[in-house]
Chains A and B, each alone.
Chain A
């Protein structure tokens, strides 16, 4: 069964540094998402992306965050100047047309630890 793949599985970074989290969505999906989950808490929406542009973002997704689809397969999340509170699991998800009730499928996640 096709999967969403994420790299790296774990990223340790000094506060203030930039990180790029990478995702390869399921190949025939056109809708892409990033979520985060702080340890022990619920999954929180960050951003959705369709047709090469952001379709929705949450209040968490401020100016330090950006997303990009640099080629036909990768979907990246960049955090420009990391803060301690950015430490969390970051999940990428992809789906078919949500208007047709297509569910989202999640990758294994990247554990981001900010020191």
Chain B
């Protein structure tokens, strides 16, 4: 079945450093969605990318969808302590979302 892989599993950065998480799907996706889950919280929708090669920005967050629509990345510039949490990518597969394993981000102040 469809698989979504995400790396790294875990990243611990100093406040102010950049952070990137990468997502790879075993199949071509119609879109890719990114979610953030704070410790003890629920997945919160961040953004959806639909077009091949699409790049979207939300303040310090930059999301990219690959040309082949099989990979994506999320880059955070100058991390802050409020960025801590787990970042998940998810791709549609039939009538469901298939989630990556997530990248846990910890930020040292």
Assuming A91-B43, A109-B42, is B33 touching A103 (CB within 8 A)?
yes
Whole-angstrom CA separation of A93 from B42 in the bound complex: 10
A42 with B97: CB separation less than 8 A? no
A43 with B41: CB separation less than 8 A? no
The answer to whether the Cβ of A104 comes within 8 Å of any Cβ in the partner chain is: yes
The answer to whether the Cβ of A74 comes within 8 Å of any Cβ in the partner chain is: no
B95 with A48: CB separation less than 8 A? yes
A101 with B96: CB separation less than 8 A? no
Whole-angstrom CA separation of A106 from B41 in the bound complex: 10
- 10 smallest CB-CB distances across A and B, nearest first, come from A56-B95, A48-B95, A45-B96, A55-B95, A43-B99, A42-B101, A106-B43, A101-B31, A109-B42, A106-B42
Q: Which residues of A contact B (CB under 8 A)?
A: 31, 33, 35, 41-45, 48, 50, 55-56, 58, 89, 91, 93, 98, 101, 103-109
